[in-house]
Amino acid sequence: MMMKKMILTILMLAGMLSVTAQNPVQNEKRQKFDPAKFEAELEQFITKEAGLTQQEATAFLPLYREMRSKQRVYFDEMRKLRSTDGNDDKKCREAIEKMDKNDLEIKGIQKNYHAKFLKVLPASKVLKAIKAEERFHRNTFQRTVKPGDRKKPDANKKAGERKHSHQRPESRK
């Protein structure tokens, strides 16, 4: 009897391992984030969506990478600031002020590089590239968030109530 249970357990484990190994979608989700792959996919998406020729991509992408590299310093710092102790008002104020400063720095970098982009691409393609980048990030986020993790609208809110938590009530404006 004991031997039958042991054999049955081994067979069940072997079957589970087999199913797991044959499920590429689940295995794909387990893979760690690969920054190089992400950047390559982003650049390919932008090139395609903006309709860049090989010559245009060769001129544009090095500038784009340079801009992203400069912005990344600020993005990394902002990510660290988000973990500020929420119980320490002084640290929270400092974090908010630093995040605001970083936002302005990022926008300044964007503005400078947009001017550089306009020297190597027509404005229509620069705008398409900017929109493509936004779409790529949105699509990537939506693919990584599990359907059950997305917040559902509050069924208790009445129609016409504030839709965004950052909006002020009408009486306080």
pLDDT per residue as tens digits for the range 126-160: 999 999 999 999 998 888 776 666 555 555 554 44
CA 117 to chain centroid? 23
173: confidence class by pLDDT, cuts 50, 70, 90: very low
Which amino acid belongs to residue 92? Answer: C
Angle separating helix axes 54-81 and 123-144, nearest 10 degrees: 50
pTM, rounded to two decimals? 0.65
pLDDT at 35: 87
Report d(CA 35, CA 32) in Å as an integer. 10
Report d(CA 79, CA 160) in Å as an integer. 34
pLDDT at 164: 44
Torsion of CA 113, 120, 126, 69, to 10 degrees: -40
Q: Which of 16-30, 33-47, 157-171 has the highest mean pLDDT?
A: 33-47
Mean local confidence (pLDDT), 74-101: 92
CB 84, CB 92: distance < 8 Å:
yes
* Closest to 113 in 3D by CA, of 43, 78, 61, 74: 61
Q: How many CB atoms lie within 10 A of CB 42?
A: 17
Per residue in 28-86, pLDDT (tens digit) is 555 788 889 999 999 999 999 999 999 999 999 999 999 999 999 999 999 999 999 88
